Amino acid sequence: MPIIDNAVYVGGHRIQNPESLELTFEYMRAKGGMAWIGLFRPTEEELAKVAAEFSLHPLAVEDALNGHQRAKIERYGDILFVVLRPARYIDETETVDFGELHVFVGPDFVVTVRHAESPDLAHVRQRLEAQPELLARGPEAVLYAILDQVVDEYEPVVDGVQNDIDEIEDALFGTEDPGLSRRIYELSSEVISFQRATDPLPVIVESLLRGGEKYGVDVELQRSLRDVLDHSLHIRDRLTSARPILANALTVNATLVTQRQTETALAQNEQVKKISGWAAILFGPTLVAGIYGMNFKHMPELQFVWGYPAALALMAATSVVLYAVFKGRHWL
């Protein structure tokens, strides 16, 4: 069902739970309250009803319907359109899952359009309904609470990414892991995507603060927004510091891999030297024995009395000389 929650609030209290959008519009106008409509992946027809009632800009409606938008804030007359990219860390796969949330904020209404499970807007509603004095400040209070929830949900994601970075740093000089380079690269890509989601957030909050006096935003809400701004800047700084660490880790890992390959090649080269040296030492006696073991009838020195001892001596001398040469060159 596209409509997740649908309520009308007066003085910070929920007075109606309309069963349809038509009743929502009717109660809101009749009671002079604020409507908060929560949609989850709505159809074009469902969103068109809301857009027609609240005079939402067609471009903003198109963005909310299609999704895949960058985080941003836009103003169409007295209506704000905010796009947020919430995120959550998945422990099982050690990955970051990004969502998308569109928020329309008007003088007497809030419309949220979600394209993912995060953020938990039911938690935001419960929090605001438990603080009627905050909810009574109007749609801007709802927008503040949503921004605060999104930023709060960023914290465990940053912690998860930092934990992954710590594990990578430990693995760099630990046991050799052939998949470490891939893990570093994938984590770097996630950090970049995370930065794209979080970097516009301070700009969004600063824009809301700049327009606070012009549009009569409550002073306490502006103070709360400054707190959200501080948290978003803190998250941005943590992510900014993560990128060079991962870049350095990738460089160090490549250097270590090259070093290990070089060490392996040198070790193999030493073994080849030893094998080649002993093969050469054994080749001399084998050659002499092979020549004098052919047993042809007419061969020089075949009838020589000292032929056998001379052949043995030649074999021994060849081996000793070659051994001395290879030993001197540190082949053996």
CA distance linking residue 57 with residue 286, whole number of Å? 94
> Which pLDDT tens digit goes with each residue over 85-132?
999 998 888 889 999 999 999 999 999 999 887 788 889 999 999 999
Say if strands 72-76 and 79-84 run parallel, antiparallel, or are unpaired: antiparallel
User: Cα–Cα distances in Å, from 190 out to 90, 164, 167, 193?
Assistant: 12, 11, 16, 5
> Which pLDDT tens digit goes with each residue over 245-296?
888 888 888 887 777 777 777 777 777 778 777 787 777 778 777 766 666 5
134-151 average pLDDT score: 93
Domain ranges, residue 248: 3-258
> Which pLDDT tens digit goes with each residue over 168-199?
888 888 767 778 888 888 899 999 999 999 99
CB 179 within 8 A of CB 187: no
Residues 303 and 208 in one domain: no
Residues 78 and 89 in one domain: yes
Residues 184 and 274 in one domain: no
Class of residue 44 by CB neighbours under 10 A (exposed 0-12, middle 13-18, buried 19+) = exposed
Residues 207 and 89 in one domain: yes
Q: Which residue has the higher pLDDT, 191 or 18?
A: 191
Residues 275 and 242 in one domain: no
Residue with tokens 């893990």: 183
Which of 258, 278, 299 delimits the end of a domain? 258
- What's the pTM? 0.76
Which of 231, 258, 285 delimits the end of a domain? 258
CB 55 within 8 A of CB 79: yes
Residues 304 and 222 in one domain: no
Q: Where are the alpha helices (DSSP H) in the chain?
A: 21-31, 44-54, 58-66, 121-129, 132-135, 139-172, 180-198, 200-210, 219-292, 307-328
Residue 282 CB contacts under 8 Å (≥ 6 apart), including other chains:
319
The DSSP code for 15 is E
Residues 224 and 139 in one domain: yes
